[in-house]
Amino acid sequence: AQSVTQLGSHVSVSEGALVLLRCNYSSSVPPYLFWYVQYPNQGLQLLLKYTSAATLVKGINGFEAEFKKSETSFHLTKPSAHMSDAAEYFCAGRRGNEKLTFGTGTRLTIIP
């Protein structure tokens, strides 16, 4: 089954600094990959998804992620962090008709 690993359960960045949240997947077959964001006391919202059409995927709120098969990675980035980006971020993946598998999440804190 597809699995995803998020490196770092907590990440802190200064406002205006680069945001980098790491996700690696385990599969020899490129999967569908997703990044979701969860704001406090809310459900998950889709940020972006990779479905093999393009390796650089742009999402909402200025986020993007790059699929790198050689590194089995799908890291999430944003050039300049805003206070409103403080949330928990989940990487998820599925392969074929398998069910979606979530990483354990990364809580992003923005330092003023």
Partner 1 sequence: NAGVTQTPKFRVLKTGQSMTLLCAQDMNHEYMYWYRQDPGMGLRLIHYSVGEGTTAKGEVPDGYNVSRLKKQNFLLGLESAAPSQTSVYFCASSWTGETQYFGPGTRLLVL
Give the binding site for partner 1 (CB under 8 A).
9, 32, 34, 36, 41-46, 49, 51, 90, 94, 97, 99-100, 102-105
Q: How far is the CB of 103 from partner 1 (least distance, A)?
A: 6
Nearer to partner 1, 81 or 103 (CB): 103
For the chain, the C-alpha Rg in angstroms (whole number) is 13
Residues 6+ apart with CB under 8 A from 16: 80, 81
Nearer to partner 1, 1 or 18 (CB): 1
Q: How far is the CB of 37 from partner 1 (least distance, A)?
A: 11
Phi, psi of 71 (to 5 degrees): -105, 0
